[in-house]
Amino acid sequence: MPRTSDASLLNQEPYVKYRNIGMKFGDTEVMKGINFDILSGEKVAMIGPSGSGKTTLARMLMTLEKPTEGTIEIGGKLLWHRRANGKLVDANLKHLRQVRGQIGMVFQQYNLFPHMTILRNVMEAQVHVLGLTKKEAEDRARKILKKVGLEHKCDAYPAQLSGGQQQRVAMARAVVMKPKIMLFDEVTSALDPELVGEVLEVIREIAEEDEMAMLLITHEMAFARDIADRVVFMADGQIIEQGPPEQIFNYPQHQRTKNFLSRFS
Ligand code: ADP
């Protein structure tokens, strides 16, 4: 059974709550009995072998996937609830839209708009989703592009940038929306090794924003240890153990965790 999370031990109301989440794709059960919280502002690193369900959990929060069992709440409001009879009770459309607006997600593929300049890429959603004026959006975009070290690339197009630079733009584009939580899904795994450091550095900067929670799915163990408040180890669709980085990396309790971590030492 998954452990009681730190959040409920602290008796704080978590920002994100996964309760008894199960997931099947067709007849294949890929996840079962997941209980998992994220507090406001908490930085959570999720580690584990490929195929263990990390991305699927993140996609559920982003409303890209619906669980086949259990309940997810965000900001004290229901996102998904699957009744025992299998019927899905989802949040109303307005709430779903609000939730999407509170979550920033960066994937392995950066998905920038290829026909727009870097500046426009970072401005676009601010104008169309936040309703800012072009001037406001541009000022904020320039500021954040400076923060990720790309102010000199404002007028370039995505194809003119390296993979690491494009990934930094993708992060700027997500963070400029001031989400309450940022999800990073293996954002460095498609990059050439020499470009990984610059992207991790930007995540480190983002992590300094106290109010923004973070769910970081990663294979960069040293980095996870460094920035996370809590590390969650997943395997075979279950949370095997979780705790502060020192505990998970120095004193893992479960054999599965030990085996997994030994690959990185
Ligand atoms: P991780 O992120 O830990 O690598 P995933 O969440 O991507 O794991 O995948 C968990 C399991 O669910 C895997 O067995 C994967 O093959 C399966 N899976 C994920 N998405 C789909 C899908 N759309 N259809 C069928 N199976 C899927």
pLDDT of residue 11: 60
Give tens-digit pLDDT for 58-75: 999 988 899 999 999 998
- What is the CA(24)–ligand 1 centre distance, in A? 10
pLDDT of residue 62: 86
Report the alpha-carbon distance of residue 128 to residue 124 in Å, rounded.
Answer: 6
Give tens-digit pLDDT for 89-143: 777 777 788 888 899 999 887 789 999 999 999 999 999 989 999 999 999 999 9
CA distances from 104 to 94, 98, 153 (A): 18, 12, 22
Is residue 226 pLDDT above 60, yes or no?
yes
Per the listing, tokens 């991790």 go with 200
- What is the CA(51)–ligand 1 centre distance, in A? 5
Ligand 1 cavity residues, CB under 6 Å: 25, 30, 48, 50-56
Nearest to 107 by CA among 50, 62, 146: 62
Q: What is the pTM of this model?
A: 0.89
Nearest CA to ligand 1 atom 24: 25
pLDDT of residue 2: 37
30: exposed, middle or buried (Cβ count in 10 Å: 0-12, 13-18, 19+): middle
Give tens-digit pLDDT for 142-199: 999 999 999 999 999 999 999 999 999 999 999 999 999 999 999 998 888 888 998 9
pLDDT of residue 87: 82
- What is the CA(44)–ligand 1 centre distance, in A? 20
Q: Which two tokens stand for residue 59?
A: 């996609």
pLDDT of residue 221: 95
pLDDT of residue 92: 74
What is the ipTM score, two decimals? 0.97
